[in-house]
Amino acid sequence: MTPIDWFLVIFLNGICIGIGVFRSQGAKTSTDWFLANRSLPWWMIGLSLYATAIDSSDLVADSGGIYSLGLTYLVTNWVGTVIGWILAANVVVIPMYRLGMYTNAEYLEARFGMATRVISALVQVQYRTMVLGIIGNTLYLTLAIVCGWGQSAWYAVFVIALIATLYTAWGGLKSVAVTDAFQSVVMLVAAIVLFGVVWKHVGGFAGAEAKLAAHDAALPQRILHVGHDQLQTTDVAAKSPEEIDRLLLLGGRYDPETKTISRQTPVWLVCTALVIAGMAYSIVNHTQSMRMLGARSEWDLRMSVVVAAGIILLVTFLNLMIGAFGRAIYPDPSMMPLADLALQKPDSIYPLLVRDLLPSVFKGLVVAGILAASFSTYDSIGSTLSALITRDIYARTIYSSGEDRHYLRFGQWLTPVVIFGSFAYIPFLQGQGMLLFYLDLVGAFVVPLLTIYLMGSLTPVHPRSGLIGIVAGVLYGTLRLAAPFVANEWGVALLPAFMMDGFASYPCSVLCTAVPMILVSLRCGWQPADQMKHEDAAGWLRDSQKRALELQGGPGRKGHASIPVALGAVMIAIGLFLSFVVFW
């Protein structure tokens, strides 16, 4: 990194943050801080949705995931995230917007009761702080590899988190949305630059295919195409017969000749899991719904996801192909030219190619894009989780009769607690790939919430079914996470082998949540999805809902109401075509 590279990094991110802070003018009320006074236009929301969805974990961790899993992972964004956005904007979030809600957890109380609301908030705190931990780790990898800073890179990560904390706490959602919109432009340009350089270096698809085949004839199909089963092979040559038997409790086949256990997951199950993971991100994640709830009209809300979907269809390809091309250049992590052997892992491929392939100026531009992606998610998750904790836990269960300024300040002071608390996840991200760690926890705790939102919005399930469904789903997820440890330590299978598979856990989690909800509804009766309590009982929560309703912009652009729906369908069709035809 030369001085001009650092100038670009500081200048581009400084401009983005400066504009965001200036435009927000500081939050004066809780409605301003949490919902930007419902003033956000469709294009700004769309850019902010994209900037939040494509953070540094998508650049670094997801490229590492593609290095390991191949292009199959593209299905997550191309299909899952896009479908999730369209469903959220047209089905799930619309009732929240019309009822003056501030968080998606508020909807769950109106539909299913207070306990479901609080559980939703707690799950989201766990889930999104984990993502912040991944971002911190990806920043460390980038600065340690590209800049050669080693362990001292953690000081820079701390400074970046501190800057995001300050402008988020001051300006709230409007500051975040404006900043994200400008940062998204930097991210897009950086993605195009790096893709072009790596594409030329590897020789495009033909060159990548030839390099992969030279290492292993099976690699081109596994890495450059979606339509292949996932095969996991574990070397057990050093294991005793008893240890091998315990590992087999988790599923797989033992080959005594090669001394390996292989587990093969069919591609249809892998794709199903990745689609569910993408939908969970779009629908459960309040960093997404919070922006939609700040829209100036329903039309802006619906149209915003079309903008986000259009960008992510392109940028997902540009960003994540880096992992596939990187596998062609370094077919095995041990071949990566890194002095620190601990950094020789799939997650290092993105910063390694930035270091080795980009000339000065371009390198600064891409690092600026990585930092912009990190800022956009630090600020988004910081403001989102502050809103959830303030409204859905603190004001709902602890102190409900304070003045508006009290809750504004509480949310602002929570922001550094959320952002810096996420550093506790860092030690758990040093072993297996960050993407695989993320997928494990999403399958365990977030998919049950996705099921609750979809069942509540699309079916007439009984209100009592919500709590029972989410408890059943989370119980299954907890057992699945604990199963490998229990099997290895005590030789006990907590679940059937197929229910312990990481990809199978996604549809299993949906069923473990939905089936109890249906059974409860068969016993207690059914209730139309639109019959729900729409106001909090008293105090600040109720008053703030009324304030949001006063700011609501109505349907907006009545003559063009069908345009967002039609364009959303087109985006879904493009994602399906790319995933299951072009790259299959």
Domain enclosing residue 186, as ranges: 3-229+266-422+532-559
Nearest to 458 by CA among 468, 450, 446: 450
Report the half-sphere exposure of 418 (CA within 13 A, side-chain side).
Answer: 34
Quick: pLDDT tens for 265-300: 899 999 999 999 899 989 988 888 888 988 888 899
The answer, yes or no, to whether residue 1 has pLDDT greater than 80, is no
Any domain includes 247 = no
Coil, strand or helix: which one is 235?
strand
d(CA 201, CA 374): 27
Any domain includes 474 = no
155 or 274: which carries more pLDDT confidence? Answer: 274
Given a contact cutoff of 8 angstroms between Cβ atoms, the answer to whether 220 and 209 are in contact is yes
Helices (H), 434-504: 434-441, 447-458, 465-490, 497-500
pTM for this prediction = 0.85
Q: Which residues, at least 6 apart from 497, have a Cβ–Cβ distance to it below 8 Å?
A: 249, 250, 251
Q: What is the CA radius of gyration of the chain?
A: 23
d(CA 83, CA 81): 6
**Mean pLDDT across 202-206:** 89
d(CA 135, CA 432): 15
The answer, yes or no, to whether residue 384 has pLDDT greater than 70, is yes
Any domain includes 502 = no
User: CA angle 448-84-384, nearest 5°?
Assistant: 75
**Mean pLDDT across 518-532:** 90
What pLDDT is stored for residue 472 in this prediction? 94
d(CA 480, CA 493): 10
Instruction: Say how many residues make up the chain.
Output: 584
Coil, strand or helix: which one is 23?
helix
d(CA 146, CA 369): 14
**Mean pLDDT across 136-141:** 78
Any domain includes 452 = no
The answer, yes or no, to whether residue 309 has pLDDT greater than 90, is yes
Query: Which amino acid type is present at position 540?
Result: W
The answer, yes or no, to whether residue 431 has pLDDT greater than 70, is no
Left (φ > 0), alpha (ψ -120 to 50) or beta: where does 239 sit?
beta
User: CA angle 398-403-405, nearest 5°?
Assistant: 105
Of 260-269, 377-386, 525-534, 573-582, give the lowest mean pLDDT range: 377-386
219 confidence band (pLDDT: 50, 70, 90): confident
Any domain includes 256 = no
The tally of domains found in the chain comes to 1
Any domain includes 495 = no
Residue 309 is part of a domain; what is its CATH number? 1.20.1730.10
d(CA 306, CA 566): 10
Of 100-104, 305-309, 328-332, 371-375, give the lowest mean pLDDT range: 371-375
**Mean pLDDT across 254-272:** 88
Any domain includes 436 = no
Element spanning 263, H or E? strand 260-265
Any domain includes 235 = no
Environment class of 155 (CB within 10 Å of its CB; exposed 0-12, middle 13-18, buried 19+):
exposed
What pLDDT is stored for residue 558 in this prediction? 58
Given a contact cutoff of 8 angstroms between Cβ atoms, the answer to whether 428 and 132 are in contact is no
Of 250-259, 324-333, 545-554, give the lowest mean pLDDT range: 545-554
Nearest to 553 by CA among 5, 19, 40: 40
